[in-house]
Amino acid sequence: MKAVLFAGDGRVSVESVGEPLIVDPGDAVVRVRRAAVCGTDLHTVAHAAHVPRGTVLGHEFVGEIAEVGPAVRGHRRGDVVVGADFTACGTCWWCRRGDHWECAERRFFGTGESFGPPLAGAQAEFVRVPFADTVLRPVPAGVGLDAAVFLGDTLATGYAAVRRAELLPGDTVVVVGGGPVGQLAALAAQACGAGVVVLVEPVDARRELAGRHGSVTAEPDAARAVVDQVTDGRGADTVIDAIGGPRGLETAFALVRRRGGIVSVGVHTDTWPMPAGRAFADELTLRFAIGDLMRDGEQLVALVRSGAIDPTVVASETVPLDAAPDAYRRMAERRTLKSLISF
């Protein structure tokens, strides 16, 4: 089969590799119909300390069940399914609480050993899925492939931020970063009862997209003035950091009100000197969240199926598998927002 591989030195290539096989009784093999290129994929390629050359990349996918192991009970050949971006056993103490990310069996598709033992990714014609009854979810009628592919990570992450924020109806929410996760976090906040949603983003096209879909927008330098205008100078009830790192957190702290909350879903790899004095004096809450289709699948499917959220608005292009390297380059150069791969 053909797959997108990490080729070293920040590059990807499309090569022929062996097809995956059932290894454990709870495995399934999925024939991929759509995959997506994610910001995490770009980070994996650019910072590949734990990713050997030849790794099959990708963790966002939807497709059809091609084969199931003897212990799989919830899926049959031919079923259309979407996969979570990481695996979990579904039965341990953490999984029973809905904290699948903490499962000792966690493996993240297509990222080498960055987040656990390696597992081949889903930018391939076929992908092996351990713990299939937990990791895979049926795609219902009325939800197209282009929408379903977002359920496993990008929308799950945006929704996880909103859920973690514990919004009250009418709350003012600021989203820092207008990439795919930030755009869908803004849509999720609107769908879940936020009042004004402000998206802060330096790229004109990304602000324009958010504005067309219900957000007030602001360039970073003007963000505090815009937030003050819509909150009578208080600051945002919740700020969602969708970019990560010190810059995202510093921007969030500059925009949140006293006794407000910050939720970060951006990837963090560095230390950061948190302003603990201000956080204490202003009674601020700082939380982090990771998307989880296994936990939030019912709500995510309902939001998409009902039309409350259309995640396809962030899809810039759909390309064949052989064109994936060019799609990676365009996304890395910010010429596209989100690329889908069609099989």
Q: What is the pLDDT of residues 246-304, one digit of tens each?
A: 999 999 999 999 999 999 998 888 889 999 999 999 999 999 999 999 999 999 999 99
pLDDT, tens only, 55-105: 999 999 999 999 999 999 999 999 999 999 999 999 999 999 999 999 999
| Residue-level pLDDT at 68 | 98
Residues 6+ apart with CB under 8 A from 323: none
**The total number of residues written for the chain in this structure:** 343
pLDDT(47) > 90 = no
In one-letter notation, the amino acid at residue 136 is L
| Residue-level pLDDT at 119 | 98
pLDDT(106) > 90 = yes
d(CA 232, CA 124): 51
| Residue-level pLDDT at 270 | 82
The tokens describing 7, both together, are: 């080729």
Backbone φ and ψ of 82, nearest 5°: -120, 145
pLDDT, tens only, 161-182: 999 999 999 999 999 999 999 9
Task: Specify whether the backbone of 245 is left (phi greater than 0), alpha (psi in -120 to 50) or beta.
Answer: left
CB 209 within 8 A of CB 315: no
The tally of CA atoms less than 13 A away on the side-chain side of residue 343 is 23
d(CA 316, CA 336): 6
| Residue-level pLDDT at 281 | 98
pLDDT(203) > 90 = yes
| Residue-level pLDDT at 181 | 98
**Which one, of 97, 184, 91, lies nearest residue 135 by Cα?**
91
Give the residue carrying structure tokens 């969240």. Answer: 289
| Residue-level pLDDT at 297 | 98
Q: Where in the chain is the domain with CATH 3.40.50.720?
A: 159-288
d(CA 155, CA 291): 8
**Which one, of 231, 207, 237, 209, lies nearest residue 221 by Cα?**
207
Superfamily of domain 159-288: NAD(P)-binding Rossmann-like Domain (3.40.50.720)
pLDDT, tens only, 119-171: 999 999 999 999 999 999 999 999 999 999 999 999 999 999 999 999 999 99
Collapsing DSSP to helix, strand or coil, 139 comes out as: coil
Q: Where in the chain is the domain with CATH 3.90.180.10?
A: 2-153+292-342
| Residue-level pLDDT at 166 | 97
Collect contacts of 266-273 with beta carbons under 8 A, ≥24 apart.
266/177, 266/181, 266/241, 266/242, 267/39, 267/40, 267/43, 268/244, 269/47, 269/245, 270/245, 270/246, 272/245, 272/246
What is the fold of 2-153+292-342?
Answer: Quinone Oxidoreductase; Chain A, domain 1 (3.90.180)
**Which one, of 24, 14, 17, 28, lies nearest residue 76 by Cα?**
28
- List C-alpha distances in Å: 224 to 7, 46, 56, 221: 43, 32, 42, 8
Say how many Å lie between the first and final Cα of the chain, rounded: 12
pLDDT, tens only, 320-335: 999 999 999 999 999 9
Query: What pTM does this model have?
Result: 0.96
The tokens describing 281, both together, are: 């004096």
**Which one, of 92, 83, 89, 96, lies nearest residue 116 by Cα?**
89
What does the mean pLDDT of the chain come to? 97
| Residue-level pLDDT at 268 | 85
| Residue-level pLDDT at 14 | 98
Collect contacts of 16-22 with beta carbons under 8 A, ≥24 apart.
17/56, 17/124, 19/125, 19/126, 20/120, 20/126, 20/127, 20/128, 21/128, 22/67, 22/68, 22/69, 22/128
| Residue-level pLDDT at 48 | 85
26-30, 38-42, 102-106, 229-233: least confident range: 38-42
